[in-house]
Structure 1
Amino acid sequence: MNESLKTKLVEKNQFKFYLSSQQLELLPTDEEVSFYQEHGWFITKQKVIPDEIIDQAIIGSQKFYRGEIDAEIPYKTGYSDWKPGDGDAVRNNQHVSYRQKELKKLMLQPIIGAIAARLAGTTEIRLFEDTLVYKAPVTKENEGGVVGWHTDYSYSSNCTSKKMLSAWIPFHDLSLERSPLIVIDGSHKWSNTEHLRYFNSQNLQQIAQQFAQEGRKIVEVPMLLKKGQISFHHSYTIHGSYPNHSNLPRQAFALYLQDRDNHYQPYWNNGVEIHHFLESMCRKLPNGEPDFSDPDIFPVIWSK
């Protein structure tokens, strides 16, 4: 970007992170922000990530699965980290952008943070964590492949913010058969779902029936995306996915994003203090609590 355009953008929007004039047109309108607030999800109207960035991320994911990494998480437990031999129905590997530079490049695309900031109504977006996800096609030898209904906030209850949201970035076009993310429309407004943890449940209908018995209207919305499009959903939005019934693998990168005001809070469950695995990696505040703004672990994607 030339300096004159940067200067104009700074004067107009006070951006610290720069978007091209074409990218500015991709930001959600007021009507789209209102839609997100009402429904708990949003799909970009068109491609926002260039093919070459996604193609590099695909190469990076292949390297990662072969064990070729650029950095290591200093401990081995407390997070999802698929290894060869674990089965391919669903592969989940957390905080991969810390370990693989091509995926970090995708994660740091400013347009992702800029859209998230508009939706969340904040001036800064930081990464909280990410997950590289892969689903093999369902076969007799490879059954399963369901991701059960859950909310993202239920896995980060030591965060104070109620504005956190997730960006879901497929590496290819997603048809209904290829296991798109499914969100339950408007479920971010439901009560008592902030601790919904059925990620590993294979029976979506059974859990959904519980919602129906509580008088809640269940409207499943598949996030059908073209390569380069992104979907966003609120941290309280219930979501999951069905098996991959296509004949091709399904690959995506999920980013769980925090707003400027998010910080650490202690959380107990049945008398046991619950910790997030990244607490041990980030720097500490003067009071000894984890610093969820540590740029080495929680990099800023967008700031205004």
Structure 2
Amino acid sequence: MTTNDSRFALTAAEQELLPSDDEVQFYQEHGWYLSKKLLSDEEVDLLDSATDRFYAGHRDRSLPTRPPRLAYWEPDKGDIHRHNDYIFYEDDTIRSILSKPIIAAVAARIAETSQIRLWNSTLIHKPPRADDARNIVPWHFDRHYWQTCSSDEMLTAFIPFHDCGEEMGTITMVDGSHRWKEIGGDDSTNRHFAERDRSELEDMLSENAAFNQAEVRKVPVTIPKGHINFHHCRTYHGSGYNVSDRPRRAISLHLQDRSNQWRPFELSSGDQVIYNNDVLVRADEQGNPDYTDPSFCPVLWEGPR
């Protein structure tokens, strides 16, 4: 994969890290892909130390307004499963590493798009506790939360700061589920998994599998330090308890393909769905949220069309 834009140029060594044709086919068939080592140990350790500073209160900038459904852990919430949205925006050290062209270039290759833009980013800390059900991430897929997006090809890069296996509650894929046809949903699918009953989401997974006459094959992805797991926006995924002796730290880097733009999405009540980005990004010529806003949705990779 080559590009004429020098900002996104890859070294010869990085070119070797791009997915092969077979790996692209794997992603298209299975809905997820574990990369080669894209980040050095030093870069991953820098993410970890920047996270310590962030949790201690450091911010390079703060959001200009607080979106209506922002996930944002603060110390008074205690030792729970932490989520902090917009970490790419608020911390320059983390931003500099997540902006490495090779990450988005891999995403562009498997998604078969000529441009990758940021959609959102979430810092995650899963404590080593098996006594709190809030540390389980129930089965869901991200497309449900992105109803104002026109694209069905968005994807997420899950980036742990250490070796990440089953004992840490690694991300687990429902293999091939991105290809399922979905049973007609209701307004509840727009709510984040943290706002919903876990058993309800288990039932939804089972019902969709039965509707598609598909096997629910759950694949816990063991991710070595510096490697990244990518998953399609319609791939069911979740994670279990962290039963190791240390926190599971990671970032979910949500990404847009070139085609994505805002679309209206109406609930049964007649209310319009508002995603958090909609109150942060600039307006386009029609007055709608502009998902190419360089402040919140910068281009991370640009290749030939």
TM (norm. structure 1) is: 0.90
Query: What is the match of residue 138 of structure 2?
Result: 148
Q: Return the alpha-carbon distance in structure 1 between the equivalents of residues 122 and 130 of structure 2.
A: 24
Letter in structure 1 aligned against 2:181: S
8 A Cα contact 1:149 1:198, kept in partner = no
Q: CA deviation at 1:36?
A: 0.5
Q: 1:261 aligns with which of 259, 280, 285?
A: 259
| CA distance in 1 between partners of 2:191 and 2:26 (Å) | 26
> Is there any run of 5+ residues in structure 2 with no aligned partner, and where?
none
Q: Within 5 Å, which residues of 2 pair with 1:120-135?
A: 120-135=111-126
Check if 1:14 corresponds to 2:4: yes
CA distance in 1, matches of 2:205, 2:285: 44
Q: Which whole-Å CA distance do the structure 2 matches of 1:263 and 1:296 have between them?
A: 16
Q: How far apart, in 2, do the equivalents of 1:207 and 1:267 lie?
A: 21
Please name the residue that 1:199 is paired with: 193
Give the Cα–Cα distance (whole angstroms) in 2 for the partners of residues 297 and 230 of structure 1.
22
TM superposition shift of 1:61: 1.1
1:27-176 to structure 2, matched below 5 A, reads 27-44=18-35, 46-76=36-66, 77-140=68-131, 142=132, 144-176=134-166
3-state DSSP of counterpart to 2:77 = coil
Residue deviations 1:43-69, cap 9 Å, x none? 01x311112222111121111111110
CA-to-partner distance for each residue in 1:107-163, whole Å, 9 max, x for gaps?
2011110000001111110000011011001154x5541011111111111011111
Give identity over the alignment, percent: 37
Query: Which runs of 4 or more aligned residues in structure 1 lie more than 3 Å from their structure 2 counterparts after TM superposition?
Result: 12-16, 193-198, 201-215
Secondary structure (helix, strand or coil) at the match of 2:23 reads: helix
Q: CA deviation at 1:209?
A: 3.9
Secondary structure (helix, strand or coil) at the match of 2:87 reads: coil
- 8 Å Cα contact 1:89-1:137 kept in structure 2: no
User: Contact 1:127–1:258 (CA<8 Å) still a contact in 2?
Assistant: yes
Deviation at 1:222, TM superposition (A): 1.0
How many residues of Structure 1 are paired with residues of Structure 2 in the alignment? 292
Distance 1:66 1:192, change over 3 A: same
- Aligned 8 A contact 1:184 1:239 in 2: yes
| Partner SS state of residue 33, structure 1 | helix
Give the secondary-structure state (helix, strand or coil) at the position aligned to 1:137. Answer: coil
Describe the SS at the equivalent of 2:44: helix
Q: Does 1:229 align with 2:223?
A: no
> Map of 1:173-188 to 2, 5 A cutoff?
173-188=163-178
Q: CA deviation at 1:294?
A: 0.9
Q: Higher mean Cα deviation, 125-134 or 213-222?
A: 213-222
Q: Is the 8 A contact 1:59 1:102 kept in 2?
A: no
Per-residue CA distance 1:52-111 (angstroms, 9 max, x = gap): 222111121111111110111122342100111223331111111100111111220111
CA 1:143–1:163 in structure 2 vs 1: closer, same or farther (change >3 Å)? closer
Worse-superposed segment, 222-231 or 212-221? 212-221
Amino acid at match of 1:92: H
TM-score by length of structure 2 reads 0.90
Q: One-letter code of the match for 1:57? A: L
**What is the Cα-based RMSD across aligned positions, in Å?**
2.0
